[in-house]
């Protein structure tokens, strides 16, 4: 017989193992660090120019970052900060190396969502965030998943639950309740309307004193921040149900959207959500706040079946939200929910697998142009990087055969570039911000 105490003991044992694994994966200081990138990577894979062209620019201007010489001296190695300085200062063929960003618009928001576990949501979110950072964009990741895979992969481990999406939602409940009470108090009415009261268990947590920046944590990537998750955040679904009971007029699904509206328009370029494998309070916050919905799926029949169920249940949930009339959510989102784009992305795809090819054809017949042209291929390098809580971009190509590494990186590069181009098209559709 097992009780909650036995489960707690098993978790404690597992947490000890997590610590040991991090020791093997991260630096001796238990902090994840970002490697340097070779001049070959900077030229051909990041700036997409000939190596000799980049060497010429560096030789012509010694004030440019010159990188660190390692080994036989044939390669120079650059930090991401140095790469971004090169990006700002050099032009090649009169072309800027800076990434495209529509003017007068806030950051574009993309949710990576599907309630099928193992569909590759966290892997896609991690790789797209890293690829975007190498592309010159400033990225905010939001980890909605209590499994916290994205947070752990970004190097965050000891996260208190009040600094997760749950804290964002609980603080929003307090602020929205205060706003509603102020509106009632200020109303010119002959009838005194009742004030909405929250229990001390919510108001005494000190969440109302937290600033937006308190929820956002830096990562080892200098242009990527994250609102992390943690295992204890799993109770957010139960807590949110209770919160709705204490204030039924609280538009819970707009909490994260309101939070993001409070950030400066130019603080980030892309905001990427890693959603949990379920449709609940957290995932509904993610899809409501998102401009673009990206749905990853494995190339098997059962994944196809699950993805079909997911979009059906999501449609019903969004239809229910459209009937939410107790209060109007503030900010850039409105009801009914409208996405600027929706895409399906095949993951763990093997072109040599007959079933995979058949299922890709089936996805294409059903979803048409909504299916991304470039699936993410399954390679040994991807499996290896996942074991070390890293993306293929963080793995040094000298740690494996360069061809294996390049194949894996090439798959994510083409998938990311399609993702970026789709986001740029959706970005133009956003209303300008005054």
The three-state DSSP-derived secondary structure of 360-402 is HHHHHHHHHHHECCCCCECCHHHHHHHHCCCCCCCCCHHHCCH
Whether 14 is covered by a domain: the verdict is no
- Residues facing residue 227 across a β-bridge: 142
Q: Looking at the structure, do residues 203 and 139 belong to the same domain, yes or no?
A: yes
Whether 32 is covered by a domain: the verdict is no
pTM to 2 decimal places: 0.90
Pick from 96, 117, 140: which residue ends a domain? 96
CA gap 122, 340 in Å, rounded? 22
Q: Alpha helix locations (H) across 41-164?
A: 51-60, 80-89, 121-134, 149-153
Whether 434 is covered by a domain: the verdict is no
Q: What is the pLDDT along the chain (434 residues), one digit of tens a residue?
A: 555 465 566 656 665 665 555 555 555 556 889 999 999 999 999 999 999 999 999 999 999 999 999 766 778 999 999 999 999 999 998 899 999 999 999 999 999 999 877 778 999 999 999 999 999 999 999 999 988 999 999 999 888 888 999 999 999 999 999 988 887 665 555 444 567 888 888 888 889 899 999 999 999 999 999 999 987 666 777 788 888 888 888 889 999 999 999 999 999 999 999 999 888 889 999 999 999 999 999 999 999 999 999 999 999 999 888 776 555 555 667 888 999 999 999 999 999 999 999 999 999 999 999 999 999 998 777 666 655 578 999 999 998 888 889 999 999 999 999 999 999 999 998 887 65
Q: Looking at the structure, do residues 219 and 92 belong to the same domain, yes or no?
A: no
Tally of structural domains, the chain? 2
Range of the domain at 83: 37-96
Taking only the tens place, the pLDDT of each residue in 288-347 is 999 999 999 999 999 999 999 999 999 999 988 877 655 555 566 788 899 999 999 999
Whether 8 is covered by a domain: the verdict is no
Q: Looking at the structure, do residues 175 and 91 belong to the same domain, yes or no?
A: no
Contact 156, 149 (CB under 8 A): no
Q: Can you list the pairs that 57-63 forms with residues at least 24 positions away whose Cβ atoms lie under 8 Å?
A: 57/90, 57/92, 61/89, 61/90
CA gap 147, 117 in Å, rounded? 11
Whether 410 is covered by a domain: the verdict is yes
- Residues facing residue 142 across a β-bridge: 227, 273
| Tokens 């007068």 -> residue | 104
Q: Looking at the structure, do residues 342 and 383 belong to the same domain, yes or no?
A: yes
Q: Looking at the structure, do residues 65 and 166 belong to the same domain, yes or no?
A: no
Instruction: List the CATH number of the domain containing 309.
Output: 3.40.50.300
Whether 28 is covered by a domain: the verdict is no
Q: Looking at the structure, do residues 228 and 304 belong to the same domain, yes or no?
A: yes
């Amino acid at each position: 017989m097992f009780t909650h105490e036995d489960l707690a003991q098993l978790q404690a044992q597992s947490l000890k193992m997590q610590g040991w694994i991090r020791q093997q994966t991260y630096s001796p200081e238990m902090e994840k660090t970002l490697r340097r990138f070779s001049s070959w990577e900077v030229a051909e894979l990041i700036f997409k120019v000939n190596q000799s062209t980049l060497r010429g620019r560096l030789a012509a201007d010694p004030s440019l970052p010159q990188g660190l010489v390692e080994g036989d001296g044939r390669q120079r190695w650059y930090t991401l900060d140095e790469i971004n300085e090169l990006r700002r200062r050099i032009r090649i063929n009169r072309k800027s190396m800076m990434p495209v960003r529509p003017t007068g618009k806030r950051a574009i928001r993309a949710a990576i969502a599907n309630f099928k576990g193992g569909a590759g949501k966290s892997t896609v979110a991690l790789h797209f965030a890293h690829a975007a950072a190498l592309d010159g964009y400033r990225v905010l990741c939001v980890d909605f998943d209590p499994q916290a895979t994205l947070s752990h992969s970004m190097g965050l481990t000891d996260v208190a639950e009040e600094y997760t999406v749950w804290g964002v939602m609980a603080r929003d409940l307090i602020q929205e309740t205060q706003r509603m009470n102020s509106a009632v108090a200020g109303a010119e009415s002959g009838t005194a309307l009742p004030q909405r009261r929250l229990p001390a268990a919510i108001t005494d947590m000190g969440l109302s004193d937290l600033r937006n920046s308190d929820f956002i944590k830096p990562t080892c990537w200098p242009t990527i921040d994250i609102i992390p998750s943690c295992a204890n955040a799993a109770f957010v679904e139960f807590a949110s149900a209770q919160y709705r009971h204490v204030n039924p007029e609280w538009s819970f699904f707009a909490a994260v959207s309101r939070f993001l509206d409070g950030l400066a328009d130019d603080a980030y370029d892309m905001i990427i959500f890693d959603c949990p494998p379920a449709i609940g309070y957290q995932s509904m916050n993610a899809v409501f706040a998102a401009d673009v919905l990206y749905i990853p799926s494995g190339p098997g029949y059962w994944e196809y079946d699950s993805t079909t169920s997911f979009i059906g249940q999501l449609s019903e949930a969004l239809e229910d939200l459209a009937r939410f009339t107790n209060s109007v959510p503030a900010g850039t989102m409105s009801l009914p929910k409208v996405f600027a784009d929706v895409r399906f992305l095949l993951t763990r795809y093997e072109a040599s697998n007959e079933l995979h090819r058949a299922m890709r054809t089936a996805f294409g017949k059903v979803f048409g142009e909504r299916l991304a042209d470039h699936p993410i291929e399954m390679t040994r390098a991807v499996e290896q990087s996942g074991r070390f809580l890293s993306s293929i971009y963080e793995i040094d190509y000298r740690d494996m055969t360069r061809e294996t590494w390049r194949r894996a990186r090439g798959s994510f590069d083409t998938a990311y570039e399609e993702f970026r181009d789709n986001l740029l098209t959706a970005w133009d559709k956003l209303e300008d911000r005054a």
